[in-house]
Amino acid sequence: MSIKNLRFLLLLIFISTHFFSQGQDKTSQEVNTIPDEITLSDRINDVFEPIVGGMATVLFWDPFTYFGIYDPIVYDENGKPFLDEDGNPIEKPIPFIVVWLIIGAFFFTVRMKFINVRGFRHAIGLVQGKYDNPDDEGEVSHFQALATALSGTVGLGNISSVAIAITIGGPGATFWMILAGFLGMSLKFTEVTLGVKYRSIDNYGNVSGGPMHYLSEGLKNKKIAGISLAPLGKVLAFMFAVLVIGASFGGGNMFQANQAFQQFSTLAPAIENYGALFGLVMAVIVGAVIIGGIKGIAKVTEKIVPFMAIIYVFAASIIITLNFSDIGLVFSMIFNGAFAPMAIKGGIIGVLVAGFQRAAFSNEAGVGSASIAHAAVKTDRPVSEGIVALLEPFIDTVLICTMTALVIIFTGFHNPEIAQGLNGVQLTSKAFESVYSWFPYILGVAIVLFAFSTMISWSYYGLKGFEYLFGKSKITKNIFFLIFLVFVIIGASSSLTSVIDFSDMMILSMSFPNIIGLYILAPEVFRDLKSYLKEIKNKKSTVAN
């Protein structure tokens, strides 16, 4: 690490430590005048929570309730509304942005003629390196690009989001998560293909790609009814750049730090009030890695991602194997719960939305983030990387999220009476702990690895958005990294509710400008796909002869 980078990390440590010590000093002074101690984490959360609430009213607007199409109030089996602690009816609104993602997933699956099924076998061959050309432009291999993108999707979303979905929608939410993962494969193919096609490579071989580029460049020469779409492309690219920065702070950062701290505080309750200090330590570790750039990230993630996936999948597989005799009953619960859920879960629509929302947060299909990482791949055929990318939702949601759901249901923690108010990573941890008391410690290691790899990948995504808005320079890069690392501390200090609301708003809202562009560019993606598959077929015929 260079002297300048070392100074940068020391500056972060100094600022954060000073901030932490001030908060602790104020707390000790006030403890004599108020009955309960107010920690620095409490202070941070008290500032952050109302900001998120205000943003939610705009970004999570529910048009279905507004126009009287859907009743958001949750009723019991007798038709009476459930009430919160203040006596107000509990509501489960349907954010428009989630419906937007659902429509997009169905559309692109049909439009690309089920490439999620047709391209699966070829995707595995590409990842194995069978079609690699070392002379192609780019920075990383197909496997490295996939590992980097997976490190941004396979993570705490698989551990925590599944638990949140089941808490809201019961076992039936698992069915809709699986379906969302399957349909999301086509969305991921489309956006990654465009990300590589419209990438830019500078004189030093550094690659920049993603929605900012294919929205602005791809729409530049498009017209509808004689009207140029170039201005629309610039507006959409600007919107996406702003949102990807927010998402890097939220789902790619704060959520990871929050859930990592929650797991550690469960294992060691003594640190419960030291979220800010925990976040500081994690920020310093992450800061030491992210300065390396995409090549450094690829080298780290290609080693960490398989290792952390093996740890988690192995632990889950043991529990599933021990309960395999009940697999039929559990899948029956999942299927029946998807189409005939209890009233407390908000009805079929409520369960469907819960499943799709958490799946989208986990695999990010339609969000556009993965196309930023895949743009760095070494290839001259963008479609090939799009086909590689369709493996992500399958691995992330269809496989790993389903395994998490099975563990929770097998151990009975889908039942609110057993869960006893637990949510997120703590619920999943307790489900593992019910089988073997030492599993939470294994899970704790996996969670740290998941959080770490997701943060370093999302720091890259956010940096690309920041550079798109403010230009490339060392000053721009260091300013972004400083803000990013401060948000690690905020995430570890805030409540899960406010963190997940902010994360959802930022990540899911990215799909709005992204999918508009995908609709417009879909015909050229399909033409490129047909050409590529025809070329592969001809090559195979030539080899066979």
pLDDT (tens digit per residue) in 274-289: 778 888 888 888 887 7
What's the burial of 370, exposed, middle or buried (CB within 10 Å: 0-12/13-18/19+)? buried
pLDDT of residue 44: 59
pLDDT digits (tens, 9 = 90+) for 292-328: 655 666 566 566 666 767 777 888 888 888 888 888 8
Name the pTM for this structure: 0.78
pLDDT digits (tens, 9 = 90+) for 79-131: 676 666 677 776 666 777 888 888 899 999 999 999 999 988 888 888 777 76
pLDDT of residue 429: 81
Rounded to 5 degrees, φ, ψ at 208 are -130, 130
Q: How confident is the model at residue 452 (pLDDT cuts 50, 70, 90)?
A: confident
CB neighbour list of residue 335: distance below 8 Å, 6 or more residues apart: 172, 175
> What CA–CA distance (Å, rounded) separates 276 from 295?
30
| % pLDDT > 90, the chain | 9
Q: How confident is the model at residue 32 (pLDDT cuts 50, 70, 90)?
A: very low
pLDDT of residue 154: 62
pLDDT of residue 173: 82
Spell 419-432 as b/e; 16+ CB within 10 A means b: beebbbbbbbbbbb
> What CA–CA distance (Å, rounded) separates 241 from 213?
10
**What is the chain's mean pLDDT, rounded?**
76
pLDDT of residue 149: 64
| Homologous superfamily in CATH for domain 3-20+95-536 | Amino acid/polyamine transporter I (1.20.1740.10)
> What CA–CA distance (Å, rounded) separates 285 from 191?
32
Per-domain boundaries in the chain: 3-20+95-536
Nearest CA among 185, 187, 194, 188 for reference residue 212: 194
Q: How confident is the model at residue 343 (pLDDT cuts 50, 70, 90)?
A: very low
What's the burial of 538, exposed, middle or buried (CB within 10 Å: 0-12/13-18/19+)? exposed
Q: Is the pLDDT of residue 520 over 90?
A: yes
pLDDT of residue 376: 77
CB atoms within 10 A of CB 535: 12
pLDDT of residue 150: 66
pLDDT digits (tens, 9 = 90+) for 163-173: 877 877 778 88
